[in-house]
């Protein structure tokens, strides 16, 4: 049986498959992931206890609680075990499955590394909310695009990711990582000129962060290598050095600045740059090339 001929989709079937693929997606905001993780841990514990034959003990504890010996039981029974049988008594204000209003993402950096305190912090974050955990996560097409382009980019399917990225309003991208990823997607999809607005925003909106140096350097490369605007590129490379004169990109930025000035026909500036490079980085890897470009 020949698969390629036998399984070709009719237009209707093709359309239906595309609908399913493009329309059905689940978005998990960061806060929900944390809460779902708590639920996962809780289930894991439950299974472990069950496997260890703790079911009978749990029943006994539940009976004791039902008979009003709650305080004594709390003193005698480990908190984790109590949580499996009587979660409301053990954790009275922290339902595991919740959604509306959505909780703010927990401050992960402040969480201790151990599991138990992490539980507590995330439970507190979950405390004020009620409802169903992943309620109404089915989202409109534009939001699906917003969620899916990142996944496609992670899978290195840059062409498809760029197609979806174009449907995402620019204002929806604000985090520097998202902007840098969007720029990467545009470049990898063969549209480096489309990466420029994303990178310009990183430089403009996050000038004090390290990513601004990376964005500035990428801008310089795009202006120099793809858009044939060496003077603009040289200024971008100079900006990178100004952001962090001792930063990891400073040496490369200076070398590329010399190259850009040379290509722009600004021989005096190229020479100044080359002299500075030779002075600051006397053993720099690009010294020979920089000398050549700067005419020194």
Contact footprint for other proteins (CB under 8 A): 1, 3, 6-7, 9-10, 12-13, 15-17, 19-21, 23-28, 33, 36-37, 39-40, 43-44, 47, 97, 115, 132-134, 137-141, 144, 147, 151, 158, 180, 184, 187-193, 210-211, 213-214, 218, 225-228, 248-249
What's the min distance (Å) between Cβ of 49 and other proteins? 14
Rounded to an integer, what is the distance from CA 130 to the centroid of its chain? Answer: 27
What's the min distance (Å) between Cβ of 12 and other proteins? 4
Centre a 10 Å sphere on the Cβ of residue 94 and count the other Cβ atoms it contains.
Answer: 21
What's the min distance (Å) between Cβ of 217 and other proteins? 9
**Residue 43 CB contacts under 8 Å (≥ 6 apart), including other chains:** none
What's the min distance (Å) between Cβ of 199 and other proteins? 10
The nearer residue to other proteins, 191 or 271, going by C-beta atoms, is: 191
What's the min distance (Å) between Cβ of 28 and other proteins? 5
The b-or-e profile of 63-90 (16+ CB within 10 A means b, else e) is ebbeeeeeeebeeebeeebbbbbbeeeb
The nearer residue to other proteins, 184 or 292, going by C-beta atoms, is: 184
Axis crossing angle, helix 287-294 with helix 250-263, rounded to the nearest 10: 30
The nearer residue to other proteins, 140 or 282, going by C-beta atoms, is: 140
The nearer residue to other proteins, 65 or 97, going by C-beta atoms, is: 97
The nearer residue to other proteins, 21 or 88, going by C-beta atoms, is: 21
């Amino acid at each position: 049986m020949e698969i390629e001929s036998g399984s070709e989709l009719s237009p209707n079937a093709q359309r239906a498959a595309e609908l399913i693929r493009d329309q059905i997606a689940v978005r998990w905001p960061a806060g929900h992931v944390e809460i779902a993780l708590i639920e996962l841990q809780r289930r894991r514990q439950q299974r472990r206890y069950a496997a260890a034959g703790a079911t009978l003990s749990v029943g006994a504890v539940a009976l004791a609680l039902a008979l009003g010996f709650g305080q004594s039981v709390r003193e005698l029974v480990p908190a984790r075990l109590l949580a499996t049988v009587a979660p409301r008594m053990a954790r009275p204000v922290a339902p595991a499955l919740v959604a509306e209003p959505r909780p703010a993402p927990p401050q992960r950096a402040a969480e201790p590394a151990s599991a138990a305190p992490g539980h507590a912090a995330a439970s507190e974050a979950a405390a004020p909310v009620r409802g169903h955990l992943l309620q109404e996560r089915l989202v409109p097409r534009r939001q699906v695009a917003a969620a899916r382009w990142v996944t496609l980019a992670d899978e290195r399917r840059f062409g498809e990711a760029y197609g979806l990225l174009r449907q995402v309003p620019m204002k929806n991208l604000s985090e520097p990582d998202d902007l840098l990823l969007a720029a990467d997607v545009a470049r990898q999809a063969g549209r480096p000129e489309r990466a420029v607005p994303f990178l310009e925003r990183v430089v403009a909106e996050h000038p004090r962060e390290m990513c601004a140096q990376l964005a500035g350097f990428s801008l310089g490369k795009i202006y120099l290598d793809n858009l044939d605007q060496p003077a603009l590129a040289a200024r971008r490379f100079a900006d990178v050095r100004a952001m962090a004169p001792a930063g990891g990109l400073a040496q490369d930025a200076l070398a590329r600045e010399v190259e850009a000035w040379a290509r722009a026909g600004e021989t005096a500036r190229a020479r100044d740059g080359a002299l500075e490079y030779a002075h600051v980085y006397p053993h720099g890897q690009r010294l020979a090339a920089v000398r050549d470009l700067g005419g020194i």
